[in-house]
Amino acid sequence: MALGAGRDTVDGRVDPAVGLIILRKVGEGVRSGEPLVRVHYNEEKRVEEAVARILHAYRIESSPAPPRPLIYEELPARPRDPKQ
């Protein structure tokens, strides 16, 4: 939203050229100076807020984070609608 990739109002404009590319996954090693995220933006005024949010979302520690499960939960299958 901060970059313009989503609508904040029903008639809001979506910019399909903006967004984030996550370059490092949780628990992956990273060295000082290596990028974590690539930010695509078209409006300079929007990028400052987006970068602040991105920096707030990361926590760099000396040891890797514990692995996360690939699947958190399995949902039961919905019964098929006989009308279909």
Render pLDDT for 2-61 as a digit per residue (tens, 0 to 9).
787 777 777 778 888 888 999 988 888 888 899 999 999 888 888 888 899 989 988 888
CB 18 within 8 A of CB 4: yes
Q: Is 4 exposed, middle or buried (0-12, 13-18, 19+ CB in 10 A)?
A: buried
* 78 is a domain residue: no
Q: 50: how many CB neighbours lie within 10 A of its CB?
A: 20
Number of domains in the chain: 1
Give the chain's end-to-end CA distance (angstroms, integer): 37
* 73 is a domain residue: no
pTM for the model? 0.65
Q: Which two tokens stand for residue 41?
A: 């933006």
* 75 is a domain residue: no
The 3-state DSSP class for residue 2 equals coil
* 20 is a domain residue: yes
* 80 is a domain residue: no
For residue 2, give the CATH number of its domain.
3.90.1170.30
